[in-house]
Amino acid sequence: MAVDDARTVIFDCDGVLVDSERLIQEVDMAMIAELGWPITREEILSQHMGRTSAEVAANIERHLGRALPTDFHAVRDAAYAEAFRSSLVEVPGVRSAVCELQAAGWQTCVASSGSHARMRLTLGVTGLRALFEGRVYSADDVARGKPAPDLFLHAARDLGAAPDQCVVVEDSPSGVAAARAAGMPVVGFAGLTPRAALAEADVVITAMDVLVPTVTTMLPTP
């Protein structure tokens, strides 16, 4: 099989590999409420999920009409880290799905709006990091984050994979939009995310135990 024909699965991280979205939302709801915006989970989903930290901060500032405290990012990152170390687990079934795909010859990688530092922590805490060594990509690596296609195209290019031979697994509307903009088929994972929010995905699943047959059907063996 030529390198550019290699079938590849690109995983988002938060909410797809690691069950972090609930923890992130709890931290954000508490911190943003203290600043004067009693933000809801629904607002976080529609306005923040899948976005970069800088984009989230800019949205909070627009809503508040003022700049965030200078220590906001440091305090929030510390709160995330504490929550991850104490409570973070992998998404049920995802480890076996990744291992099964790799055993069948699929390339796998991670492409997330989160920073490399955060993914080192979350993938490390859950023990998933070893499955993706050297194949972890962050929005920090590209000019534009999701919903732009830059991150997914960067990951595919680095792995030598053609976009139409990649399947993206995403749990956010912005991630689904990014995959479609990249010309890649996309599986929406409705774990914490409502199915309706992932309507633009090619397929929506609610459990990782159906991921392997789903992507195999989407990209059959050449």
pLDDT value of position 222: 67
The domains located in the chain, with CATH, are: 3-19+89-218 (3.40.50.1000), 21-87 (1.10.150.240)
CA pair distance 209, 206, nearest whole angstrom: 9
Tokens of 191: 């774990």
Residues of the chain above pLDDT 90, percent: 92
Kindly report the backbone phi and psi dihedral angles of residue 163, in degrees, each rounded to the nearest multiple of 5, phi listed first.
-55, -40
Helix (H, G, I), strand (E, B), or coil: what is residue 3?
helix
Residues of the chain above pLDDT 70, percent: 97
Q: At what angle do helices 150-159 and 173-181 cross, to 10 degrees?
A: 60
CB 215 within 8 A of CB 164: no
Question: H-helix or E-strand containing 187?
Answer: strand 186-189
pLDDT value of position 1: 39
Neighbours of 201 (CB within 10 A): 25
Query: Which tens digits make up the pLDDT trace of 116-173?
Result: 999 999 999 999 999 999 999 999 999 999 999 999 999 999 999 999 999 999 999 9
Query: Which tens digits make up the pLDDT trace of 93-122?
Result: 999 999 999 999 999 999 999 999 999 999
Kindly report the backbone phi and psi dihedral angles of residue 130, in degrees, each rounded to the nearest multiple of 5, phi listed first.
-60, -25
User: Annotated catalytic sites, by residue?
Assistant: 12, 14
Query: Which tens digits make up the pLDDT trace of 206-218?
Result: 999 999 999 999 9
CB 138 within 8 A of CB 115: yes
CA pair distance 29, 38, nearest whole angstrom: 7
Per mean pLDDT, which range of 2-11, 160-169, 170-179, 199-208 is the poorest?
Answer: 2-11
The mean per-residue pLDDT over the stretch 18-42 comes to 96
Sheet with strand 136-138: strands edge to edge: 136-138, 107-112, 8-11, 166-170, 186-189, 203-205
